[in-house]
Amino acid sequence: MGVVSQTGTADSASYNDGDFTRPETSVTTRFEFRSSSSSSSSTKREREILQYNSKLDLGSGWKLGTQIQIPFVEKATTTFGQANSESGAGLANAVFQTALIHTIDTRWAYGFGARLVAPTADASLGTDPWQIMPAIGIRYSFLGIAPDTYFVPVVRYAISFGGNPFARIIREPQIAPTLNIGLPGRWFVTFYPSNDIRINYGTPISGQTGRLFLPLDVAVGKKILNNLVVSLEGSVPIIRDYPVYDFKTELKVTWQF
C-alpha cells in the first residue's frame, strides 16, 4: 500500500480530527469512564459529552477554531467502612474554547487561544469556580513516513477565578505531547491525545504527596468513512503524586462536515 500524502491541511484522507492546529467543523460524542481512590474512599465517574467544533478560514494561512462541550456526569463515591455510597447525576461544567491557528507550510503550524470552563454543574459534579485556560500548541508533520503522522505538543494552564471564595484554588499546567501515528487502512495510534499530564500548583487535594500526575495515555482508532472517525482511549498513571485518576477509558465518535 502506498503512503497517503499529507498536505498539512484538514482535508487529508487519513486526518482523524485530533490535531489542535487543524480545527475542523465536526460533532463529537465522547463516553468516558474514570475511577479514582484515596485512603478513605473510591469514586467512579461516567461522562457523556456532546462536543461541537467549528473553523473559520481567515485567509493567509490563518484559521479560527472554536469548541463547545456540554457534558453529563454520573458519579458514585463509596466511603470505606460504610455500607452506603453517595451518588449523583446531572449536567457538569460547560466548556467553551477558541484558538487562532496559523499554518506555516505543509510541515509546520502553530496556534494559541483559551478555554473557559463555566461552573454550570452542581458542586458535587464539577468545580465551583470559573476556570480560564490559556493554551498554545505547535505541530510538525512527518511527511512521507506514514499516513497523517504528526507531533503536536499542546500546553494549557488552568486558573480558577470567581465563584465561591472558599473553593479550591486551581493553578495547573495540563500537557498533551500528542504523537499521532498513521497506519494502513486509515487506522491510527495516538499517544497522549488528552491534556492529562498535570502539575498542581494550586490547593493540594486529598491523597496528594507531590505535584505531578503522569499517565500512560494511548488511543487506537480508525477513520471508518471519509467523515466518520472512531477511537478508544485508555490511560493509567505512571506517577500519581497528584492523584487525578486510577484508570480512564474513553470511546470517541467524530462526524466531520
The sign of the CA dihedral 139, 222, 65, 102 is: positive
How many domains is the chain built from? 1
Residue 18 placed within a domain: no
Torsions phi, psi for 186 (to 5 deg)? 65, 25
Q: How far apart are CA 187 and CA 98, in angstroms?
A: 28
Supply the range of the domain harboring residue 252: 26-78+86-256
pLDDT value at 1 more than 70: no
Which amino acid would we find at residue 11? D
Q: How far apart are CA 45 and CA 33, in angstroms?
A: 6
Minimum mean pLDDT among 119-123, 125-129, 183-187: which range? 125-129
pLDDT per residue over 81-108, tens digit each? 776 778 888 888 999 999 999 999 999 9
Q: What is the model's pLDDT at position 85?
A: 76
pLDDT value at 2 more than 50: no
pLDDT value at 11 more than 50: no
Residue 11 placed within a domain: no
Residue 4 placed within a domain: no
CATH number of the domain that 97 lies in? 2.40.160.40
pLDDT per residue over 207-241, tens digit each? 899 999 999 999 999 999 999 999 999 999 999 99
3-state secondary structure of 193: coil
pTM, full prediction:
0.90
Torsions phi, psi for 99 (to 5 deg)? -145, 140
Q: Which of 98, 89, 100, 42 is nearest to 69 (CA)?
A: 98
Residue 14 placed within a domain: no
Q: What is the model's pLDDT at position 3?
A: 36
Residue 6 placed within a domain: no
pLDDT value at 10 more than 50: no
- Cα separations (Å) of 241 from 27, 172, 215, 223, 246? 35, 14, 11, 36, 12
**At 78, is the pLDDT very low, low, confident or very high (cuts 50, 70, 90)?**
confident
Q: What is the model's pLDDT at position 140?
A: 97
Q: Within a 13 Å sphere around the CA of 178, how many CA atoms are in the beta-carbon half?
A: 31
Residue 9 placed within a domain: no
Q: What is the model's pLDDT at position 99?
A: 98
pLDDT per residue over 184-211, tens digit each? 999 999 999 999 999 999 999 988 999 9
pLDDT per residue over 14-70, tens digit each? 899 999 999 999 999 999 999 998 777 888 999 999 999 999 999 999 999 999 999
Q: How far apart are CA 119 and CA 216, in angstroms?
A: 29
Q: What is the DSSP letter of 121?
A: S
Residue 32 placed within a domain: yes
CB 140 within 8 A of CB 113: no
